[in-house]
Structure 1
Amino acid sequence: MRVILLGNAGAGKSTLARKLIAKQPAARLSLDQVAFQGGIERRALQESFEEVKRWIADNENWVIEGCYADIIEPVLPFCEELIFLNPGVETCIAHCLSRPWEPEKFSSRQAQDENLDNLIRWVGAYETRADEYGLRRHRALYASFRGKKRELTHPGDYASV
């Protein structure tokens, strides 16, 4: 299994990644781990890409998940399936509001909660953003991929994966 999960924050990528790995053991990489160099500063794209390539080389079976079309695009040739999670902005916001503390991203629940308003605004702009995190770029990346792919528009559909 070599799967890439693409979608907005709150789309359910991490949850689906855990479900896939429970069915078939595989390594998991959240692109948040390679996109930033501490805090909110993005790493150079080439650095992120090289780190993902090394990680892929070290793992036979894997799931990569993220919203970073600029990192995903060059690693698409390595995947067997692209799954685009696109449940709508309202669902993504609801998921963000109910997500548990993510210790790999925040030092405390309080720190995570202090970022929640920014996250909700960012997630809410998904359909209008023109950057690598937005719907337009995700849809173009999905359309360009010639391998096995699926777009899931409802979290209830995730169980079929």
Structure 2
Amino acid sequence: MRLLIMGNSGSGKSWRARALAEQHGLAHLDLDTIVWEPGQIAVPRAPEQVHADLLVFVTGHQHWVAEGCYGDLVEAALPYCSELVFMNPGRDVCLENNRRRPWEPHKYASMEAQQSKLDFLLDWVAGYYEREDAMSYACHRRVFDGFEGRKTEVTLQT
């Protein structure tokens, strides 16, 4: 089992990936951990380092789950996956999940520091369906629709 899970922030990617990793004994990669400089908020690592770390992960484990909103990284990992999951529960669900997000100590020094970025995050999440970048609905839809392997789209109705 080699699963890629993509979607907007708050769509349930991390929750699903952790549950599957625990249930099936899979290695788990949160793409945030290779995209950003450790211990720094929104400081990107060099793209060649990110891609090298992604390749090490997908080729270094027989069974794994990787998750994130980075459509370009999901696309780079597609040749190595056995299933693609697109978490697409809708804007309102994503916004509410981000409002209720517990403290992420691997990203923020405190819950207060995390909450100080919440308005920015909510604005970014709300723009998912209008943006055209690698972390947008447009990119995720293109990647999902173009993938010819096993795939599942998880919507609010699913």
> What's the TM-score bracket when you normalise by the shorter of the two chains?
over 0.9
Shift in Å, 1:41: 2.4
Shift in Å, 1:39: 2.6
- Residue 45 of structure 1 contacts residue 70 of structure 1 at CA under 8 Å; is this kept in 2? no
- Residue 6 of structure 1 contacts residue 85 of structure 1 at CA under 8 Å; is this kept in 2? yes
- Residue 59 of structure 2 contacts residue 80 of structure 2 at CA under 8 Å; is this kept in 1? no
* 1:117 aligns with one of 116, 119, 136: 119
- Distance across 1 between alignment mates of 2:96 and 2:137: 18
- Residue 2 of structure 2 contacts residue 82 of structure 2 at CA under 8 Å; is this kept in 1? yes
Q: Does 1:12 align with 2:9?
A: no
- Distance across 1 between alignment mates of 2:141 and 2:91: 15
- Which position in structure 1 is the counterpart of 2:107? 105
Alignment of 1:72-111 (within 5 A): 72-111=74-113
Q: Does 1:55 align with 2:57?
A: yes
Normalising by structure 1, report the TM-score.
Answer: 0.92
- Residue 80 of structure 1 contacts residue 147 of structure 1 at CA under 8 Å; is this kept in 2? yes
- Residue 126 of structure 1 contacts residue 133 of structure 1 at CA under 8 Å; is this kept in 2? yes
- Distance across 1 between alignment mates of 2:71 and 2:132: 11
The share of aligned pairs that are identical, in percent, is 38
* 1:128 aligns with one of 127, 130, 134: 130
Query: Residue 142 of structure 1 aligns to which amino acid in structure 2?
Result: F
Between the two proteins, the alignment pairs up a number of residues equal to 156
Task: Tell me the SS of whatever aligns to 1:71.
Answer: helix
- Distance across 2 between alignment mates of 1:44 and 1:69: 17
Structure 1: give runs of 5+ residues left out of the alignment.
none
Q: CA RMSD for the aligned pairs?
A: 1.2
- Which position in structure 2 is the counterpart of 1:43? 45
> What per-residue deviation string (whole Å, max 9, x for no partner) do you get for residues 60-86 of structure 1?
111100000111111110000000000
Task: Tell me the SS of whatever aligns to 1:50.
Answer: helix
- Distance across 2 between alignment mates of 1:79 and 1:49: 15
- Residue 26 of structure 1 contacts residue 61 of structure 1 at CA under 8 Å; is this kept in 2? yes
Query: Residue 13 of structure 2 aligns to which amino acid in structure 1?
Result: K
Q: Which portions of structure 1, spanning 4 or more consecutive aligned residues, are displaced by more than 4 angstroms?
A: none
Structure 2: give runs of 5+ residues left out of the alignment.
none
Shift in Å, 1:152: 0.7
